[in-house]
Amino acid sequence: MNIQRTLKYEADKVPGFGREIMSVPGCEQLNDCIQCGTCSGVCPLSIYMEYTPRQIMELTRSDFKDEVLKSNTIWLCASCYACTTECPRQIRITDIIYELKQRAIKEGKYPARFPIPVLAQEFSSMVKKNGRITEMLLVMKLFLKTNPFAAMGNWRMGIDLMKTGRFSLATEHIKQRGELGRMLDAVDAKKEN
Ligand code: SF4
Ligand code: SF4
């Protein structure tokens, strides 16, 4: 895979970003990283990543916010925890990457038309609104926001799935969806404080 990396300059930094991430429970040990590279060596997906897990740890604590949040690395992480298990400094790499994903979604900083963050965002907003997901709507939104041409190419399959009852156009929801929405808002507000 041909991955292009560019030189980084002091001016690219967003001072305080590393400290912000390290203030999140579970991410405190980031500063103990000795850059041994064990995490990158055991990661089954590092060969496809723009930056390896070791590089992401260094870029994060060194305040290279945009490089980290806009990289494909955090979205390719499959949360297998191999890196976290093997890290000699007990750094919770997977949890740090998870926190970075949340930041990227919140700030809308992710690779353009990359499906994973769009799926995560649409999934959570549907659950928050209805308490359930409606697969048909979720798939349609994902295609429209990432690759509308693929949606056109798959319309026949969509109709076949609807005919067999595998896809429904009806929006599914739980009974007290308002309460669930308020609970999730409260959790979000607590996290921000
Ligand atoms: S394995 Fe741990 S100490 Fe080594 S580079 Fe990765 S995060 Fe840093
Ligand atoms: S948790 Fe993510 S970064 Fe760590 S080894 Fe697994 S895929 Fe790689």
Could you tell me the two tokens for 115? 């499906």
My answer on whether 124 and 153 are in the same domain is yes
Whether residue 45 has pLDDT greater than 90: yes
| Residue 18 falls inside a structural domain | yes
Are residues 51 and 101 both part of a single domain?
A: yes
| Per-residue pLDDT, 2 | 45
Q: For residue 32, which atom of ligand 1 is closest to its CA?
A: 3
Minimal-distance CA residue to ligand 2 atom 8: 43
pLDDT, average across residues 143-153:
75
Quickly state the pLDDT bin for 6 (edges 50, 70, 90): low
pLDDT for position 80: 96
Q: Which ligand does the CA of 100 lie closest to?
A: 2
- The mean-pLDDT minimum among 54-58, 98-102, 154-158 falls in 154-158
Supply the range of the domain harboring residue 185: 115-192
Q: Are residues 75 and 95 in the same domain?
A: yes
pTM for this entry: 0.75
- Does residue 101 share a domain with residue 130? no
**Nearest C-alpha to atom 6 of ligand 2 is from which residue?**
80
Q: Do 131 and 79 share a domain, yes or no?
A: no
Domain annotation covers residue 71: yes
Tell whether 68 and 131 lie within a shared domain. no
pLDDT band at 192 (very low <50, low <70, confident <90, very high): low
Pick from 20, 108, 118: nearest CA to 64: 20
pLDDT at 176 over 90: no
H-only helix segments in the chain: 17-22, 38-42, 53-61, 65-69, 73-76, 82-86, 93-107, 115-130, 135-146, 148-153, 155-163, 177-192
53 lines ligand 2 (CB under 6 A): yes
pLDDT over threshold 50, residue 89:
yes
* Protein residue closest via CA to atom 3 of ligand 2: 77
Q: Whose alpha carbon is nearest atom 6 of ligand 1?
A: 39
Residue 52 CB contacts under 8 Å (≥ 6 apart), including other chains = 37, 39, 40, 43, 46, 73
Q: Indicate whether 110 pLDDT > 50.
A: yes
Query: How many domains are contained in the chain?
Result: 2
Q: Name which residue leads in pLDDT, 88 or 123.
A: 88
Q: What is the pLDDT of residue 21?
A: 96
Asked whether residue 36 is assigned to any structural domain, the reply reads: yes
Asked whether the predicted pLDDT for residue 43 surpasses 90, the reply is yes
The answer on pLDDT for 4 being more than 70 is no
33 lines ligand 1 (CB under 6 A): yes
Please report which ligand is nearest the Cα atom of 53. 2
Same domain for 30 and 103?
A: yes
- Token look-up 């007290």 returns 176
Q: What is the dihedral of CA 2, 80, 74, 151, to 10 degrees?
A: 80
Residue 27: the pLDDT is 95
Residue 154 Cα to ligand 1 middle (Å): 43
- Indicate if the pLDDT at residue 118 is higher than 90: no
Is residue 120 domain-shared with residue 88, that is, in the same domain? no
Q: Are residues 91 and 134 in the same domain?
A: no
What is the rounded average pLDDT of the residues 113-136? 84
Q: Kindly report the protein residue whose alpha carbon is nearest to atom 7 of ligand 1.
A: 33
Cβ 23 under 6 angstroms from ligand 2:
no
168, pLDDT greater than 70: yes
